[in-house]
Amino acid sequence: MPARADRILKAEGGRRKAAKSPKPPLSAFRLLLSAFCLLLSALSAAAEAPGGKAGPRPALWVDSDTVSIPEPARKFDTLHYDFFYATFGQAPRSFVGRLGAKQPAWNVNAWEEVPDSTWYTNRHPLHPMTAEQVARGANQHNGPDLSGRLAVLEGKTAGTSLGFGRTRDSAGNVYFIKFDSAEYPELTTASEVIAARFFHALGFHVPQEWIIYVRPEQIEIDPQATIWDKNGRQRKMTRADVEEVLKGSARAPDGRYRAVASLLLPGRVKGGFRFHGTSRDDPNDLIPHQHRRELRGLRLLSAWLNHYDIRPGNTMDTYVEQDGRKFLRHYLLDFGSALGSASYFPKTPRMGFSYVWDTREMGNPFLTLGIYQPRWREHPAGVKFPSVGRFESEMFSPHLWKPVLPLVAFDYMDNADAFWAAKLVMSFTEEQVRAAVREGQLSDRQAEEYLVRTLLERQRKVGWHGFLVSAPLDGFRLGKIVGGEQALMFDDLALKYGFAEPAGTYYVHTFSRFGEAGYLGRPRSFRGHSIPLDELMKWAGPGGDPKAVFTLAIAARRAEPEFEERWVKVYLGREAGAFRLLGWERD
């Protein structure tokens, strides 16, 4: 073992010894609190068994949740109720989520990935996308036909941004149209399109969206078009309503208006989904949403893209028909408040750092009589480019990032979910990031460059966080090393992305029959990214029970003090005298 590794091992040993110092006796308060938490956990866990099984998980890449179901009723969301419910009503559930032992996500397969479902589709990096594919996003054609007129079928009924509701192009397709405000040209439309491209590549269902340029005379009003005016009255839409929208919208020097066009989602709209529990009227929906990895990990994905306005009202279920089956598909919507935008104006300094009503955030100023104020409030980031809004990377902390409202699924994010999300985020190359940002069609090159730089800096922070809280070892596979010996190979993402130095990194492993103590005694250390398996096979015995499962636990030890020792358990079975890979699991 190299001398440096020895030093690290000694230091680690010292640290572990120090950590074993006697704990103070439990006070009555702590006992009561523990009992309370146990009770709450027991109550909440009573219905939460199906995902918590130990050992190798199912080797599935598709979670078949597309069984035909009766058409569910339309659900309606309201920001006001969401605010009260999420801020005050959900507090106990989130409390349990944070305090209680968190269950691992239920919909995780043998390879620690999320199988495809009506919620999520594995795209990049499992099926690597080119920069062009990232840039194209969910779009399947070239956007609205602007050779003719756009007929507005209804005024905009939701959200704060300027635009029109359903609007039909000359090809007969229906879109939703959103404009930029006159004060902040390109802000809303660029944020919407760029974030949609990323969320699509990350695996979520999003609408097809394009940036378009329209002349005022191209916009006509359908004779049946209605609008809810600002006085809360529904009436026939008039040309004055169109002019009113255009009056507040940014206009290009050539007289055209820049807008984002979102294609109407396929299927019948059924309302947004919640970030906890299951839908009563969707029999396919069996996994409580707080136990879906893609929704837990969405916290870090949203943090990267500063998708502050993620909430039930900005999601959508649609009742679709595919291959003769009718079921619900789940979408993320409305990215106009992503990046530096907050709809039609830049984000305020608070956004991304605090919920609308954040008791915890208020606690420190309250207790210190205002002497402590968070940095974002004392020295808020400025708006460097009107088309980018308030978007920065210096104060950004992925694990402290907050959306507009507390979401239960986000509170349930555990280290393995964080690693999954960080791995996704880190998989984007600079070229892919640039390609997605270019889709925002920012006219200011400096603004575009700033946006790319900031995204890349935030990406590093997300990766750093995800790889710190969980063992960044991934991509386990069986192969042969020199001499034909079977070996387990893996990737160290901390090294791959330059978060740790190879010279200061070595690995340790133990081997055991599943559920039993390891045979190797203390962990064995090694360098390189492969573990020869012949010796382990000798111990396991090539001819034993073919159903037996063995656990090869691996951890990295590094010179960088920020990295703690975290383990990955790789499950192996036996087949024809050799090991076969059954999957892996993060501690």
Partner 1 sequence: MRAPLRLASTLLAVLAAPHLLPAQPPPEQRIIDVEAAERAKKTEHSFRAWQAPLLPFLVFGKAMEKGFIAVDRNHLLEKAQYYVSEHERGFKPLFGGLGIGTGFALGVEYYRNDFLRRGGRIGIPLRASTLLYQDYGIDLSLPVDSGQCVFFDANAHYRVRSQDDFFGLGNDSRAGARTSYMLQSRQFSFGPRFELTRRLRFHARFGYNSTSVFDGKDARFPAITARFARNQIPGLRSGARLWAGEASLIHDTRDVPGRPRSGGYHRLEVGRHQSGGSNEYGFWRYRAEAERYLPLGSRNRVLALRFLGITNQADGASAVPFFEQVILGGSSTLRGFREFRFYDTSGVMMSAEYRYNLNAYADMVLFVDQGQVARQPGDFSWSGLRTGYGGGLRFLNQAGTPFKILLGRSNEGTRIYFSLGGTF
Q: Which positions touch partner 1 (CB under 8 A)?
A: 43, 46-51, 53, 57-58, 60, 62-65, 67, 76-81, 84-85, 89, 106-109, 115, 228-234, 277-278, 280, 285-288, 348, 350, 354, 357-358, 361-362, 365-366, 369-371, 373, 377-378
Task: Report in angstroms how near the CB of residue 165 gets to partner 1 at its nearest.
Answer: 14
How many residues would you count in the chain? 587
| φ/ψ of residue 525, rounded to 5 | -100, 155
Scanning the structure block, which residue is given the tokens 């097809």? 208
Task: Report in angstroms how near the CB of residue 30 gets to partner 1 at its nearest.
Answer: 24
Q: Which residues contact 266 (CB under 8 A, 6 or more apart)?
A: 318, 320
Question: Is 348 or 443 the residue whose CB approaches partner 1 more closely?
Answer: 348
Secondary structure class of 558 (helix, strand, coil): strand
Burial class of residue 585 in the structure, from the number of CB atoms within 10 Å of its CB (0-12 exposed, 13-18 middle, 19+ buried): buried
Task: Report in angstroms how near the CB of residue 39 gets to partner 1 at its nearest.
Answer: 9
Task: Report in angstroms how near the CB of residue 268 gets to partner 1 at its nearest.
Answer: 18
Rounded CA separation 278/46 (Å): 15
Secondary structure class of 473 (helix, strand, coil): strand
Task: Report in angstroms how near the CB of residue 495 gets to partner 1 at its nearest.
Answer: 31
Rounded CA separation 400/269 (Å): 34
CB atoms inside a 10 Å sphere around CB 159: 19
Question: Is 205 or 289 the residue whose CB approaches partner 1 more closely?
Answer: 289
Rounded CA separation 189/260 (Å): 5
Question: Is 169 or 417 the residue whose CB approaches partner 1 more closely?
Answer: 417
Which tokens in the block code for residue 306?
A: 């500063």
Sheet holding 550-558: strands in order across? Answer: 524-526, 505-513, 550-558, 567-575, 578-586
Nearest to 336 by CA among 424, 384, 404, 256: 404
Question: Is 63 or 474 the residue whose CB approaches partner 1 more closely?
Answer: 63
Question: Is 121 or 432 the residue whose CB approaches partner 1 more closely?
Answer: 121
Question: Is 110 or 424 the residue whose CB approaches partner 1 more closely?
Answer: 110
Task: Report in angstroms how near the CB of residue 96 gets to partner 1 at its nearest.
Answer: 14
Question: Is 279 or 510 the residue whose CB approaches partner 1 more closely?
Answer: 279
Burial class of residue 245 in the structure, from the number of CB atoms within 10 Å of its CB (0-12 exposed, 13-18 middle, 19+ buried): buried
Task: Report in angstroms how near the CB of residue 559 gets to partner 1 at its nearest.
Answer: 38
Question: Is 276 or 299 the residue whose CB approaches partner 1 more closely?
Answer: 276
Rounded CA separation 400/417 (Å): 15
Task: Report in angstroms how near the CB of residue 121 gets to partner 1 at its nearest.
Answer: 14
**What torsion do the CA atoms of 32, 33, 38, 42 make, to the nearest 10 degrees?**
100
Task: Report in angstroms how near the CB of residue 58 gets to partner 1 at its nearest.
Answer: 6
Question: Is 143 or 380 the residue whose CB approaches partner 1 more closely?
Answer: 380
